[in-house]
Amino acid sequence: MTAMTVNGWEMQAGDPAEFAFRLSLLRNPHGEHDRATPEEAHSWGAFSLWVAGENLCAHLEQGQVIESAH
């Protein structure tokens, strides 16, 4: 599945119950006035990997569950 989202582009392949991955290209969450170089500002993304129903990229960050590595 490939889709355009409000925040960019996303693709998921496979069945999370067995094996799947998701790639996302995201907009810079800090906005246009970020001090990042243009290359850095356009390089945001996320990755998720599932094996046997478990998301191997899910983790806790400041007490919040994050579903992808960014």
45-51 vs 64-66, strand pairing mode: unpaired
How high is the pLDDT of residue 8?
Answer: 81
Distance CA(23)–CA(68), nearest Å, equals 9
Q: Is the pTM of this model over 0.95?
A: no
Q: How many CB atoms lie within 10 A of CB 50?
A: 20
Instruction: Report CA-CA distances (Å) from 59 to 12, 13, 33, 63, 68.
Output: 19, 21, 29, 9, 8
Tens of pLDDT along the chain (70 residues) come to 555 555 688 999 999 999 999 999 988 877 777 788 888 877 889 999 999 999 999 999 999 999 999 8
